[in-house]
Amino acid sequence: MEITYGSHKLLKGESLFMIEKCKILLIFVLFAAISTAFGADPEELTVFCGAGLTGALSEIGEIYENSSNVSVKFNFDGVPALRAQIEQGAYADILVSANLKHMNALMSEGFIDNSTVKVFARNKVAIIVPNDNPANITGLKDLAVPGVKILMGTKDLPAGDYALMVLDKLAMDPEYGPGYKEAVLANVVSQETTVNRIVSKVAMGEADAGFAFNSDVSPQMVGKVTRILIPDRYNVEGDFPVGVLSQSKYPQEARAFIEVLMSEKGQAVLDRYGFIPVAEK
Amino acid sequence: MIGEIISNRFGTDAGGSCRVIIQSPRLRGSWRSKALKAGLALLMLLTMGFIALPVASLLLKNPLDTVVQTLHDPMVVDALRLSLSTSAFTTVTVVLLGTPLAYINAKFRYPGKEIADSLIDLPVIMPPAVAGIALLMAFGRMGILGHYLDGLGISIAFTTLAVIVAQIFVSSPFYIRQARTSFEDVDISMENAARTLGASRIYTFFHVILPIAFNGLVSGAIMAFARSLGEFGATIMFAGNFQRRTQTMPLAIYTAMQGDLDVALCLALILVIISFLVIVIVKTLTRRMYENVRN
């Protein structure tokens, strides 16, 4: 068929033909829209996942999709936000959390099928600084220097909660003391609601340092941020749990997803992202 | 008659009587117009219910004594104080900077006016997250301008100033647009009369144009104030989230949603009440302005 524009006038038959075609197209589009809106979709797992796990869990989601004919839809956000959404009635099949606190709360409220909850990885707190390190931070003590701009999570965000635990441990040590904790907290310029926002703002160089996880120097962030390790005696090893929601329409598939997460392949992905894998027991 | 129509509609009495109804223009007209009215009324109720229900739910899900108690929560007090003071500061700045601009755009033609106009309106349409990242790229520590400011020891990101910068960016169009229309609505003959009577341009502006446009300017300023109060996306990206310093009411709502829902609900309620007041004030002022113009 030839399509011409401008001065070419359509013949009467031709134009009627065009209108008919448009009608058919319109009906087709409407039908498609309605069927996507109301149609029973094929099996799809809805996974609510802590934002810091975005990279690793996306990869594991692909592994799962390839091994089954179920697709996975993620909702990545700060775990407290995900918890609030679930408590307000949002639908999810699986919750992947960055600490036990929120998982336990949802378990006691009856939102989680308690028999499915497993710790799938562990993680440690890390201090991240922009690669050019404008405030010249090389150790923990540098964080207490007045004027250093530090980002932290809110106290409800796992990353913020763990960071406070580390600061408490440091405050107990006479080498640092309670004054150290206060000085660091006085340098906090923002309490972010996802750990990703801490990492990206540090990567942009807007802040001098941020409290995040070992796993946050993900493959995408290498070359943008540098990690400053916290000695083990001050660090905390956080448990990252996963669980199936009681309301899940696909509990079998959800359990299969957790199996992939715990499998050798899944654990290898987590290891690559800097999580501490848990050995299958 | 209604029974007849219903029975016809359901096809239990297909045939003769049905044709009678369709053929009678009077009957058809009244039936159709009634149906149309009923349909429109239903549509209106649905739309209004859709807007009213969430607002009403905020009130219903929020026991008054909890709200009163939560009002003393430091997070609420700090957010309220910060929001009101930054929005007030923003409004004053926008009025001072925006009024001359609006006047020029209302009264004069100059090359590139179209571009200037579109630029002024841009933040209204720009998604807040885009505004946030744009502000970071401009005024952030590594930003185009922020880079030099940082060299001078001035840093904007993560300070209360950043909150104000974000508010000015998003709310200025609301004032400038309204102010421009208000200036355009001032009858040129008033201005001419003043000028022919020997008043200077500046005297004419302050004693003739400004009083006539005043109500319009005030409602524009209130709109800008309201928009500043509600600013969220650009603030959380550019100014961060820290109680007393950058945690305005919308940010406090977002943060509290993940911890203390009562705080979130209490702040939400305060914002709803302020929004209502804003609408009432703006409507009254605009009505008065048009009455003034007509007289």
| Domain spans, chain A | 44-122+239-277, 124-237
User: What pLDDT was estimated at residue A138?
Assistant: 93
Tell me the average pLDDT across A111-131.
96
- pLDDT of residue B229 exceeding 90, the answer is yes
Query: A248, A272, A224: which is closest to A57 by C-alpha?
Result: A272
User: What pLDDT was estimated at residue B121?
Assistant: 93
- DSSP E strand boundaries for chain A: 44-50, 71-77, 94-96, 118-130, 150-153, 188-192, 209-213, 225-229, 237-244, 276-277
User: What pLDDT was estimated at residue B51?
Assistant: 92
CB contact under 8 A, A205 and B254: no
Residue, of B25 and B12, whose pLDDT is higher: B25
CB contact under 8 A, B242 and A80: no
Q: pLDDT digit string (tens) for B234-279?
A: 999 999 999 999 999 999 999 988 778 888 989 999 999 998 998 8
Minimal Cβ distance to A206: which of B140, B245, B261: B140
For the CA atoms of chain B, what is the radius of gyration?
A: 27
Band (pLDDT 50/70/90 cuts) for residue B290 is confident
One-letter amino acid for residue A82 of the chain: L
Tell me the average pLDDT across B153-160.
90
User: What pLDDT was estimated at residue B10?
Assistant: 40
Residues of chain B neighbouring A148 (CB-CB closer than 8 A): none
Interface test with B, best of A187, A190, A192 (most B CBs within 10 A): A190
Number of inter-chain CB pairs under 8 A, A vs B: 58
Strands A209-213 and A150-153: parallel
CB contact under 8 A, B241 and A190: yes
CB contact under 8 A, B241 and A78: no
Whether the CA torsion B156, B160, B163, B169 is positive or negative: it is negative
Average pLDDT for chain A: 88
CB contact under 8 A, A205 and B141: yes
B271 neighbors B232 (Cβ within 8 angstroms): no
CB contact under 8 A, B257 and A84: yes
- pLDDT of residue B294 exceeding 90, the answer is no
User: What pLDDT was estimated at residue A42?
Assistant: 64
- pLDDT of residue A40 exceeding 90, the answer is no
Strands A118-130 and A237-244: antiparallel
CB contact under 8 A, B158 and A155: no
Band (pLDDT 50/70/90 cuts) for residue B25 is low
List the 139-168 stretch of A: residues with Cβ below 8 A of B. 149, 151, 154-157
Q: pLDDT digit string (tens) for A175-224?
A: 999 999 999 999 999 999 999 999 999 999 999 999 999 998 877 788 89
Query: A271, A149, A158, A244: which is closest to A202 by C-alpha?
Result: A149
| DSSP 8-state code for residue A226 | E
Same fold? A44-122+239-277, A124-237: yes
Domain B64-294 falls in which CATH fold?
A: MetI-like fold (1.10.3720)
Residue B126, Cβ density class (10 Å: 0-12 exposed, 13-18 middle, ≥19 buried): middle
Q: Worst-scoring range by mean pLDDT, A7-11, A73-77, A159-163, B25-29? A: A7-11
CB contact under 8 A, A151 and B240: yes
Band (pLDDT 50/70/90 cuts) for residue B14 is very low
Share of residues in chain A with pLDDT > 70 (%)? 86
Q: Which class in CATH covers the domain with range A124-237? A: alpha beta
Tell me the average pLDDT across B211-226.
93
User: What pLDDT was estimated at residue B267?
Assistant: 92
Band (pLDDT 50/70/90 cuts) for residue B18 is very low
User: What pLDDT was estimated at residue B288?
Assistant: 82
Tell me the average pLDDT across A248-256.
95
Tell me the average pLDDT across B174-202.
92
Residues of chain B neighbouring A164 (CB-CB closer than 8 A): none
Q: Is A266 on the interface with B (CB under 8 A)?
A: no
Q: pLDDT digit string (tens) for B99-149?
A: 999 999 999 999 999 999 999 999 999 998 899 999 999 999 889 999 999
User: What pLDDT was estimated at residue A56?
Assistant: 94
Residues of chain A neighbouring B258 (CB-CB closer than 8 A): 78, 80-81, 83-84, 154, 156-157, 193
CB contact under 8 A, A149 and B259: no
How far is residue A6's CA from residue B144's CA, in Å, rounded to a whole number?
46
Q: pTM of this prediction?
A: 0.78
CB contact under 8 A, A206 and B158: yes
User: What pLDDT was estimated at residue B8?
Assistant: 41
Tell me the domain boundaries of chain B. Answer: 2-60, 64-294
Q: pLDDT digit string (tens) for B27-78?
A: 556 888 899 999 999 999 999 999 999 999 888 887 888 888 888 899 999 9
Tell me the average pLDDT across A126-145.
94
- pLDDT of residue B86 exceeding 50, the answer is yes
Helix/strand/coil (H/E/C) assignment for every residue in chain B: CHHHHHHHHCCCCCCHHHHHHHHCHHHHHHHHHHHHHHHHHHHHHHHHHHHHHHHHHHHHCCCHHHHHHHCCCHHHHHHHHHHHHHHHHHHHHHHHHHHHHHHHHHHCCCCCHHHHHHHHHHHHHCCHHHHHHHHHHHHCCCCCCHHHHHHCCCCCCCCHHHHHHHHHHHHHHHHHHHHHHHHHHCCHHHHHHHHHCCCCHHHHHHHHHHHHHHHHHHHHHHHHHHHHHHCCHHHHHHCCCCCCCCCCHHHHHHHHCCCCHHHHHHHHHHHHHHHHHHHHHHHHHHHHHHHHHHC
Share of residues in chain A with pLDDT > 90 (%)? 77
Tell me the average pLDDT across A117-137.
95
* ipTM of model: 0.71
Q: Which class in CATH covers the domain with range A44-122+239-277? A: alpha beta
- pLDDT of residue A88 exceeding 60, the answer is yes
Band (pLDDT 50/70/90 cuts) for residue B295 is low
Distances (CA, A) of B266 to A191, B64, B80: 21, 9, 11
Tell me the average pLDDT across A225-250.
95
Q: Is A90 on the interface with B (CB under 8 A)?
A: no
Q: Which residue of A has its CA nearest to B259?
A: A156
Q: Is A46 on the interface with B (CB under 8 A)?
A: no
Tell me the average pLDDT across A142-152.
95
User: What pLDDT was estimated at residue A9?
Assistant: 46
Q: Which residue of B has its CA nearest to A84?
A: B258
How far is residue A82's CA from residue A88's CA, in Å, rounded to a whole number?
10
Residues of chain B neighbouring A190 (CB-CB closer than 8 A): 158, 239-242, 246
A177 neighbors A144 (Cβ within 8 angstroms): no
- pLDDT of residue B23 exceeding 70, the answer is no
